[in-house]
Amino acid sequence: MPPLRRKTKSFDFRAKGPIIQLEDQKIVIISGLSGSGKSTAIKALEDVGFFCVDNLPVLLLPKFLEIRMEQSSDRSKLGLVMDIREKRFLTSFANVLDSLTDRGYRFHILFLEASEQELVRRYSQTRRRHPLGGGESLLEGIRAEQKQLEGLRKISDKVIDTSRYNVHELKAVISQYVLKETHTGRVEINIISFGFKYGIPSEADLVIDVRFLPNPYFVPGLKDLDGRSSQVQDFVKKWDETQVFLKKYLNLLDFLIPLYEKEGKSYLTIGVGCTGGRHRSVAIACEVSGYLKEKLEYTHLTHRDIELV
């Protein structure tokens, strides 16, 4: 694999090639060890508004970026998973990255890893085959991959050890980090609905408890739906206390968000919780998100526990 390096020189954007506005670009490349959580990471990027592609062949990257930059109005937020599943990744990645950097593209490389013990445990649970398994043992395949990716790990902007995170915690860590690193000068809002029975999101800056609202769970015909359905939303919003609460809470956010922005806060995570994270919190989070999206460009909505029972 050719030596990897990150170029930092200035670029002449009057030269031939695509005219790239650096401040508009957010291109995150996710790589790292097999089994370290890259599939979870790309889902986290999708949740915060990135257009994502998994296992993109490295030699197709220049053409892919050219097409996206020319034809898509949402060209600025791209998440790409690239790793050794693609056979030419190791031999071509360095040259392709340097070539694109010379043309004005800029990348944020996020490298995921985990302990050998945790990787072995995950593979044992999923019964999937390691990409470098071949005739070797699982542990030998893991160690071979660690060796081959040493150079990429060294030049990555961020290395995250995922050993101690479950799926929901890792998505939260990835989302929070990416929002922070791709900050555009305006505060970015991440709204998370959750269930208190599964714990308060560790990344939440503001938490509101909506368990005081009537619970659709106990209403025939609504129990098996969730807060994204119009029936549940209508039920939650029909009460006087809901309307008073929303008016007061949205007014509070209107007051707080400009102050956070003035103070220089790059992102704000709002947690909306009910008992199980499936009905009331989801309905209220949707309402808050819809309200803020009319005022702020960067508003993202995640329902953390909606699929849990």
Bin 264: left if φ > 0, else alpha if -120 < ψ < 50, else beta: left
Q: pLDDT, tens digit, for every residue of 129-143?
A: 888 766 668 888 889
- Of the chain, the percentage scoring pLDDT greater than 70 comes to 85
Q: How confident is the model at residue 30 (pLDDT cuts 50, 70, 90)?
A: very high
The pLDDT of residue 13: 28
> CA separation (Å) from 229 to 33, 221, 238, 242?
39, 12, 14, 17
Please state the rounded mean pLDDT for residues 205-210.
96
Pairwise pLDDT comparison (275 vs 184), residue with the higher score: 275
Q: What is the DSSP letter of 8?
A: -
Per-domain boundaries in the chain = 22-181, 188-303
Pairwise pLDDT comparison (26 vs 143), residue with the higher score: 143
Q: In the predicted model, what is the mean pLDDT of the chain?
A: 84
The pLDDT of residue 131: 81
Q: How confident is the model at residue 3 (pLDDT cuts 50, 70, 90)?
A: low
- Of the chain, the percentage scoring pLDDT greater than 90 comes to 43
Q: In sequence order, which residues have a C-beta less than 8 Å from that of residue 270 and are 6 or more positions away?
A: 189, 190, 191, 192, 204, 205, 206, 207, 208, 253, 288
Q: Are strands 26-32 and 107-113 parallel, antiparallel or unpaired?
A: parallel
Burial of 290 (0-12, 13-18, 19+ CB in 10 A): exposed
Pairwise pLDDT comparison (77 vs 209), residue with the higher score: 209
Task: Choose the weakest-confidence range: 1-15, 227-241, 263-277.
Answer: 1-15
Beta strand spans in 116-197 (E): 158-161, 188-195
The pLDDT of residue 72: 54
Superfamily of domain 22-181: P-loop containing nucleotide triphosphate hydrolases (3.40.50.300)
Q: How confident is the model at residue 12 (pLDDT cuts 50, 70, 90)?
A: very low
d(CA 130, CA 137): 9
CB 82 within 8 A of CB 112: no
Q: In sequence order, which residues have a C-beta less than 8 Å from that of residue 36 and are 6 or more positions away?
A: 112, 113, 114, 119, 162
Q: How confident is the model at residue 217 (pLDDT cuts 50, 70, 90)?
A: very high
The pLDDT of residue 128: 78
Pairwise pLDDT comparison (7 vs 306), residue with the higher score: 306
Task: Choose the weakest-confidence range: 139-143, 247-251, 289-293.
Answer: 139-143
